[in-house]
Amino acid sequence: MKKQAKKYLRNWYHLPLLFGALIMLFAFVWMFLSAFKTEQEILAVPPTIFPVKPVLNNFVQVYNRIPIFRYFINSGLVAGISTIFVLVTSAFAGAVFAKYSFPFKNVLFIIILGTTMVPFECYMIPFYIMVSKAGLVDTYTGIISPLIISSFGIFLMRQHVASIPDALMDAARIDGCSELGVFWNVILPLSKSTLSALAIFSFMFGWAFFVWPLIITNSADHFVMEVGLTMFQNQYTVEYGPLMAGTSLSVIPLLLVFIFLRRNIISGMTISGMKY
């Protein structure tokens, strides 16, 4: 009996942990539940927890009022295309910084590493001027442009490629591979896990990027999901039903990414965190 009690006492920390976890999840549960409630039910005091009679009206409202599918496509394009660019530039630059020597290599790497600490807000004004001079305001190219390189990605890939043994690369060279062939046949296949972690990160980052699309787009055709949602919010008075329906729809892609790729995300953070 005493032993039993002691065992429970030793696990006391589960209580606050569980409470905290519930707070973390509650907001999302509440969002999904609210999305299925009628207007009367949303404003009912005391509130119901589960929708008494779940309705899809809020989703219909969203569909009728804003081009939500357009926003989905725009966000997907911005996040997807920028991810492809980041993967290509990071893989090449990471390989070269890890395995080749060239003049000023270390200085250049330190400069690139330094820019990981400079947030976008610190250079968005000149960036805007540049993009507007290039005539790219309110275009996809304009939205994606700051996202096509990632100093974090280059750093991550350099750390990973450095762990690939030189002997493997030399063996490929002896077999007659060109340097590009070494990159393609040795480095890339051995970098799959790091590249997939990087892909998830940059997709999430591209999808959540807010301040730049807000500044650079001004037509609903080019709004990404996040900007479209804020516009939706600003246009109408408090109508939490449709708003929560729109929010629920908007989080589905990242929610799916998280549910299915959680292990990769956490292990990706382990790769990047470990080397700091």
Partner 1 sequence: MFNISAGYWLRIKGLERKKLQFAILVIIPILLLFLVLRIIPVFGTFYLSLYRWHLIKPDRPFIGLENFSRIMIDKNFRIALFNTTNFTIIVVSISVTLALLLALALEKKTRLGGWYEFAYFLPVVIPMVPVSMIWKWMYDTTYGIINILLKAIGLSPVGWLTEPKIALYSIIIMSIWKVLGYYMVLFLVGLRNIPVEYYEAARIDGAGGWQLFKNITFPLLKRMTLYICVIATIQNYNVFTQVYVMTTGSQAAPMAAVRVLVYEIYQNGFRYFKMGYASAQVVVLFAIVMIISLIYFKVFKIEDD
Q: Rule CB under 8 A: which of 101-130 touch partner 1?
A: 101-104, 108, 111-112, 115, 117-119, 121-130
CB 42 within 8 A of CB 219: no
Q: Does 21 bind partner 1 (CB under 8 A)?
A: yes
Give the residue with the Cβ less far from partner 1, 39 or 63.
Answer: 39
List the Cα angle 202/62/230 in 5-degree steps: 50
**CA atoms within 13 Å, Cβ hemisphere of 67:** 11
List the Cα angle 185/158/85 in 5-degree steps: 75
Give the residue with the Cβ less far from partner 1, 46 or 189.
Answer: 46
Give the residue with the Cβ less far from partner 1, 77 or 251.
Answer: 251
- Site string (193-212) toward partner 1, x via CB under 8 A: -----------x--xx-xx-
Q: Does 167 bind partner 1 (CB under 8 A)?
A: no
CB 74 within 8 A of CB 224: yes
Q: Which of 76, 92, 188, 220 binds partner 1 (CB under 8 A)?
A: 92
Give the residue with the Cβ less far from partner 1, 52 or 269.
Answer: 269
Give the residue with the Cβ less far from partner 1, 56 or 270.
Answer: 270
Q: Does 57 bind partner 1 (CB under 8 A)?
A: no
Give the residue with the Cβ less far from partner 1, 63 or 210.
Answer: 210
CA 59 – CA 38 distance, rounded (Å): 11
CB 156 within 8 A of CB 94: yes
Q: Does 162 bind partner 1 (CB under 8 A)?
A: no
DSSP E strands in 103-203: the ranges are none
Measured between its terminal Cα atoms, the distance across the chain in Å is 48
Q: Does 234 bind partner 1 (CB under 8 A)?
A: yes
Q: Does 270 bind partner 1 (CB under 8 A)?
A: yes
Give the residue with the Cβ less far from partner 1, 5 or 45.
Answer: 45
CA 14 – CA 121 distance, rounded (Å): 40
Which letter does DSSP use for residue 187 in this model?
A: I
Q: Does 24 bind partner 1 (CB under 8 A)?
A: yes
Classify 207 in phi/psi space as left (phi over 0), alpha (psi -120 to 50) or beta. Answer: alpha
Part of the chain binding partner 1 (CB under 8 A), chosen from 51-59, 61-69, 176-184, 189-197: 176-184
CA 159 – CA 170 distance, rounded (Å): 19
CA 220 – CA 217 distance, rounded (Å): 8
151 backbone dihedrals φ, ψ, rounded to 5°:
-70, -30
The count of residues interacting with partner 1 (CB under 8 A) is 90
- Site string (239-268) toward partner 1, x via CB under 8 A: -x--xx--x--xx--xx-xx---x--xx--
Q: Does 77 bind partner 1 (CB under 8 A)?
A: no
CB of 106 to partner 1, least distance (A): 13
